[in-house]
Structure 1
Amino acid sequence: MIFRKYQQEDLPQILRLFHDTVHFICSGDYTAAQLDAWAPDSFDTDVQKRWHCTLTEHFTVIAEEGLVITGFGDIDDTGYLDRLYVHKDYQRQGIASGICDRLEAHASPNIITTHASITAKPFFQKRGYHVAARQTVERHGILLTNFIMKKE
């Protein structure tokens, strides 16, 4: 397993990983409609450009095994941990912890904030994050619950 920086050619594999992981791993906590709103089957060009932009602007870590991207995560300069996803076939192998260790080490603020799904909340709690607020967010007209979590 290697950890490296994001490259533009990673984007198609990252988008597929995101979709598949959300639909497989989070299916016990969210409805099919919520999963579709959160992670649609396809991403238009504008969405792909936005993802590439933020992954490039943020400190982004890619976990890779051979030619397979097994996980990714990113954090911005304010300490907002935006995304952290591990391939559905590579769960519970320490990949999320390895990525998160690198993201947290890179963060310059004293407080790291993330918006964690119901599914991810226990992972972040084990890492010392606390729930600052429960919130409902809207994606494509569908409401989803997540948690604003902070680590100081």
Structure 2
Amino acid sequence: MTIRPYQSQDIQQITKLFHDTVHHVNIYDYSQEQLDVWAPEDIDLDSWHHRLSSQCCLIAMIENNIVGFGSIDPLGCLDMLYVHKDFQKQGIASKLCDELESFYSLSSVYTHASITAKAFFLNRGYKVIKKQEVERRGITLINYQMEKCFI
């Protein structure tokens, strides 16, 4: 596996990976209606490209295929972390997280973890700050604000 910076031509593969991963991996923790508003069919590619371009976004590759991606902003928000549904539990998320957490040399990093991802972040030393109800297109989803301190 190799890790490289995001490039604009990645956007189609990344948004498909995001959609497919949410709809397959998170299905045990969220309803179909919640999955549909979290990862809709009509993803705005320009908005995603702008978001990822404004952050440190890293891409995990295996044999020229994107198998994961993650992003962090300069303030320490680990914004996105997704691994292809067929490449779960192979250390890809951990490797991406290692790189992202150290990118800006911050004293702490925080994220808004899904119910599904909560255990992953707890195992990495993150603490739950609070449980949150987030609204997307009129539907409520649960996630957790979590933080990891490095000092």
The number of aligned residues is 149
Residue aligning to 2:104: 107
Q: Distance in 2 between matches of 1:74 and 1:40?
A: 20
Structure 2: stretches of 5+ with no match in the other structure: none
Q: Do residues 16 (structure 1) and 10 (structure 2) align? A: no
Residue aligning to 1:125: 122
Computed over aligned residues only, the root mean square deviation of the Cα atoms, in angstroms, reads 0.7
Q: Distance in 2 between matches of 1:3 and 1:139?
A: 31
Q: Distance in 1 between matches of 2:146 and 2:50?
A: 24
Return the TM-score normalized by structure 2: 0.96
Query: Secondary structure, in 3 states, of the residue corresponding to 1:23?
Result: helix
Query: Secondary structure, in 3 states, of the residue corresponding to 1:143?
Result: strand
Residue aligning to 2:50: 53
Matches within 5 A, 1:2-151: 2-43=2-43, 47-151=44-148
Structure 1: stretches of 5+ with no match in the other structure: none
Cα deviation code 1:10-66 (max 9, x no counterpart):
0000000000000000000000000000001232xxx21121012111011100112
Letter in 2 for 1:108: S
Letter in 2 for 1:41: E
Identity among equivalent pairs (%): 52
Q: Distance in 2 between matches of 1:5 and 1:82?
A: 15
- Displacement, 1:132? 0.1
Q: Distance in 1 between matches of 2:74 and 2:4?
A: 18
Q: Distance in 2 between matches of 1:42 and 1:16?
A: 11
Q: Distance in 1 between matches of 2:30 and 2:23?
A: 9
Structure 1 outlier segments of 4+, above 4 Å: none
Q: Distance in 2 between matches of 1:107 and 1:48?
A: 26
